[in-house]
Copies of this chain bind each other. A is one copy, B any other.
Amino acid sequence: MVHVRILVTLKPSLLDSAGRTVTGALDNLGFSEVEDVRIGKAIVVRLKEYDEARVRAMCDKLLANPVIEDYQIEVLG
C-alpha cells in the first residue's frame, strides 16, 4: 500500500482569483507581510501499488486539467 500526494496548481501565468481574494482578506486582518496567495489542490491517493505512468494518466484524465493546471507527484510511502 502506497500513499501518493498530487499537488495540482494553476499555471503561474494565470490569474488565481480565489488567491487574490484571500490575499486581500489576510491584509484586512492585519497580515501585511503577505504578498501573494495561490490556492491549489492537494490530493492524497492510497494505492495498492505505485506505477508512476499510471498516476500520471490519472492526473491527465481526471485529477488535473493540463490546459490550465500543473501537477507534481510526491510518493509519501
Tell me the A residues contacting B by CB distance below 8 Å: 1, 7-9, 19, 22, 25-26, 29, 31, 33-49, 51, 54, 57-58, 61-63
Contacts and interface: CB of A to CB of B under 8 A. Distances in A.
A22 to B, nearest CB: 7
Q: How many copies does the complex hold?
A: 2
Contacts of A49: 33
A26 B48 CA distance: 13
Residue of A9, A25, A26, A37 with most partner-chain B CB within 10 A:
A37
Contact of A62 (B26, B38, B58): B26
A56 to B, nearest CB: 12
A44 B9 contact: yes
